[in-house]
Every structure is written in C-alpha cells, then in structure tokens.
C-alpha cells in the first residue's frame, strides 16, 4: 500500500481513518483525500495532518468522472478506501435523491476508474488481470441487512433487506461492487460496520446530538419508546478493522465489523446524562422515525477468526473518552452546528416536542 485514495476523508470516520492510516503506515507515500465538503465534511477535522508531506486534500465530487480519472492518472493509486456518502438516515427520509446519486452513482464512478487504471487490458472485457497488490474497499453498513427482532445477529450471509432510502442506497452500492468482482474479477472488499462513536462525529447523530443538547439544557429527542437497539463500536476499532481487511482480506469477500456492544438508545442517553451531571427531565419522547429499524446486532465471527481482528475498546472506556473529547472541543461543535445545521434541525424535529 503506497498510494491511497480515501474518499470522504473530511467526515467523521474518514477523518479518523486518515489520522489512523498515516500514523500506522509510515511507508505510505501519498494519501489523497477526495471530499466534496458537504455539510458533514469539515477540514477542521484534519488540522493535525495538514502539514504531513504525504497528505493531499482534493476538494471534489466522487461523481465527477473526469476528476476521478485525473486523480488516478496523477497519483497512481494502488488502494481506494471509499467512505464518501450521504450517511444520515433522517436526511434520507426527507431528501432521498442525493443519497442515490452520491452513494450509488458515486461508488460506480470510483469502481470504473479503478478498473480502467488497474486492469492490465482495460479494453478487453474478458480480462480479469490486474496490477499486483491493488484493492478497492467499500465502506458499507450493517443497515443493509434490515432490522432484527429480539434475537439473532447479522452474518455476512444474512439476506440484504434495507428499509430506509439511506440503507437502500448503500445496499445498491454493495451489489454494484459485487458485480465488479463477479464480472470483471476486480479485487474488491466490502466491510459492513455497526454504529460508530468517537471524536469528530457530526452532531446530527445520536451521541453527539444528545451531548450537545444536554450541555445547552435543550430537550433530548428520543424517537418512539427509545428501546431501539444498536451495536456500538469505537471509530478507532473500525479503522483498525478496515486496515486489517485491506492487508489480509480475501478479494470479493464481505466482512462484518461490530463492537459486541448492544445498547438501547435510552440507556445511552441516560448514561451520557449521568456522566455530565444533567437531569433526565431533559428527555423528550417524540414521534418515531418512519420505518425505524428496531434492532441491529453484528456477528463478528468471520473477521475475528479469519483475519484475527477484535475490538480493543470497552464501551465504558470509549464513551468516557468520547464525552471528554466533546466537552474539550466545544468550539469544534459550535462551528459545525452553525449555519445549515440549525435549518436542518428545525425541519427534522418540526412539530415534535423539541422544535
């Protein structure tokens, strides 16, 4: 792995991954971060690496074929780690269109450029020969599997059954990645991760939103009965799993990544309130998210047994560090929630008890 294209590296997980990879892999020659800087992308997340000579930021769109091909020509990537996406379920419910173009067409644009630059005979449709050592990794989500009842876990063979426009767009992209493997023999990997938490997460997502509202003594919107369950994973553990798949994963395979850490939403909210010393009276139950998935749970057996990866954070350690980070970085939070975010917040929670 010498020349790496990271897409969406100014977002939550992408920026943590850029830090992680530059730290872990000193022999990387060049890491290009291609990011459109949507509301979710923030160059403040990358201040620590901006002077690293190996790091290059490109402001652009993954759907821009010409740009993506120029970047492949110029930087001779051997690795693509594709994070860029519209990632928020609530936004996808209100405005699905952009989820389809960014998450589906954007992924296919990257795949096609990678195929054209990596295939040894790009004009021969039967050619399945590629430059040695190249890999395209699609960062996907456990949401493609749909929802679980009280029991069971998602394995890599669980049928895809997405329920939101967001998860349907991610599932569609996964199918296209699979098609590039089956049809063209492209060396691809797909990772499907559970809910991440940690530094630099945009405060539209549950944990930073609750922290931000609680610190400002604002109502905490809990959808439905608050008993929906997610499997939480520290973002650094997600980054280490991605690197493991890049280095050891078999081409064409899907790897689930989870934290073995199922929690009901209301439990997380009460935990945050107790750590920061705020009253539970801020909790406000609001109308449920349409089509809300009840429970996610990841079976990690494949990545742990085949690739030897395991999460390293306990939830107690990870959540304490995360809360501390948001408290220490309130200026970052205030910067990212100014402007467009306030307009989004009032639209999303309109007619609920917290608007």
Q: Which residues are catalytic?
A: 142-143, 166
Tell whether the torsion through CA atoms of 170, 176, 179 and 181 is positive or negative.
negative
Residues pairing with 270 in the sheet = none
Q: Which helix (H) or strand (E) holds 231?
A: strand 229-234
User: Among residue numbers 52 through 91, which ones bind ligand NAD (CB under 6 A)?
Assistant: 61-63, 83-85, 87
Among 1, 8, 144, 168, binds ligand NAD (CB under 6 A): 8
63 binds, among ligand DAU, ligand NAD, none (CB under 5 to 8 A by kind): ligand NAD
| 209 part of the interface to ligand DAU, by CB under 6 A | yes
User: Among residue numbers 71 through 90, which ones bind ligand DAU (CB under 6 A)?
Assistant: 87-89
| 228 part of the interface to ligand DAU, by CB under 6 A | yes
Among 91, 170, 212, 244, binds ligand NAD (CB under 6 A): 170
Among 5, 32, 38, 165, binds ligand NAD (CB under 6 A): 38
* Site pattern 190..229 for ligand NAD (x: CB under 6 A): ---x-xx-----x---------------------------
CA dihedral 33, 37, 39, 44 (to 10 degrees): 70
Closest CA to 107 of 138, 70, 72: 138
User: Among residue numbers 83 through 122, which ones bind ligand DAU (CB under 6 A)?
Assistant: 87-89
296 binds, among ligand DAU, ligand NAD, none (CB under 5 to 8 A by kind): ligand DAU
CA 318 vs. chain centroid, Å, equals: 17
CB 11 within 8 A of CB 43: no
Q: Which helix (H) or strand (E) holds 275?
A: helix 265-276
Give the binding range for ligand DAU (CB under 6 A) out of 49-57, 176-184, 219-227, 241-249. 219-227
| 265 part of the interface to ligand DAU, by CB under 6 A | yes
């Amino acid at each position: 792995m010498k020349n790496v294209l990271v897409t969406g590296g100014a977002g939550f997980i992408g920026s943590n991954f850029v830090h992680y990879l530059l730290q872990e892999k000193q022999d990387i020659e060049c890491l290009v971060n291609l990011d459109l800087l949507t509301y979710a992308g923030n160059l403040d997340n990358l201040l620590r690496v901006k002077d690293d000579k190996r790091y290059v930021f490109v402001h652009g769109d993954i759907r821009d074929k010409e740009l993506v091909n120029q970047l492949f020509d110029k930087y001779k990537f051997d690795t693509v780690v594709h994070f860029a996406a519209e990632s928020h379920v609530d936004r996808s419910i209100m405005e699905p269109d952009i989820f389809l173009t960014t998450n589906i067409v954007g992924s296919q644009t990257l795949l096609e450029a990678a195929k054209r630059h990596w295939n040894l005979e790009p004009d021969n449709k039967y050619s399945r020969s590629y430059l040695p050592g190249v890999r395209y990794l699609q960062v996907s989500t456990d949401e493609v599997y749909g929802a679980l009842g009280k029991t069971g876990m998602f394995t890599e063979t669980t049928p895809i059954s997405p329920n939101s426009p967001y998860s349907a767009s991610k599932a569609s992209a996964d199918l296209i990645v699979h098609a590039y493997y089956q049809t063209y023999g492209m060396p691809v990997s797909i990772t499907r991760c559970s809910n991440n938490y940690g530094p630099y997460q945009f405060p539209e997502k549950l944990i930073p939103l609750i922290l931000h509202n609680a610190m400002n003594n604002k109502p905490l919107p809990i959808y439905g009965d608050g008993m929906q369950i997610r499997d939480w994973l520290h973002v650094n553990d997600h980054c280490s799993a991605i690197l493991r798949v890049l280095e050891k994963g078999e081409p064409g395979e899907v790897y689930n990544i989870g934290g073995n850490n199922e929690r009901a939403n209301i439990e997380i909210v009460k935990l945050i309130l107790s750590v920061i010393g705020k009253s539970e009276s801020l909790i406000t139950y609001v109308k449920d998210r349409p089509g809300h998935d009840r429970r996610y749970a990841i079976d990690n057996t494949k990545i742990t047994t085949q690739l030897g990866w395991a999460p390293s954070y306990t939830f107690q350690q990870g959540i304490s560090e995360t809360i501390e980070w948001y408290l220490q970085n309130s200026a970052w939070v205030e910067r990212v929630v100014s402007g467009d975010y306030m307009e989004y917040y009032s639209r999303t929670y309109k007619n609920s008890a917290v608007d």
